[in-house]
Amino acid sequence: MTVFEQAAVVAAVVLGTVTTRFLPFLIFPAGRKTPEYIQYLGRMLPPAALGMLVVYCLKDVSLFSGTHGIPEAISIAVVTALHFWKRAMLLSIAGGTAVYMLLVQFVF
């Protein structure tokens, strides 16, 4: 890439970042009530995204071959138990990931 092309890419990235950061404040100013549709999306999108991540992570698990999904099931149980115990999302994710990696590296 030439220097001009590199500068154009950097400028496009900066413009895109600035636009996406400031646009919500321009569309929904502090003095105005946020529309119900946007509030609904704010409530529903995080659980929907997490649900899609769970489906994506488990889509290739085969119950009839290999480890039969045992490491995944144990890890899901650990994540669930940690979350109900401490209510700390980062701890739940890190604990489940660590248990899964230990299981697939040393047990299965």
What is the rounded CA–CA span in Å between residue 23 and residue 25? 5
CB 67 within 8 A of CB 42: no
pLDDT at 23 over 90: yes
Rg of the chain, C-alpha, whole Å: 21
60 phi, psi to nearest 5 deg: -100, 10
- Give CA–CA dist 29/85, Å, rounded: 39
Q: Average pLDDT of 64-81?
A: 94
Query: For residue 68, is pLDDT > 90?
Result: yes
Q: Tokens 């890890």 belong to which residue?
A: 75
Report yes or no on whether pTM surpasses 0.75. Answer: no
Q: Which residue has the tokens 């946020």?
A: 34
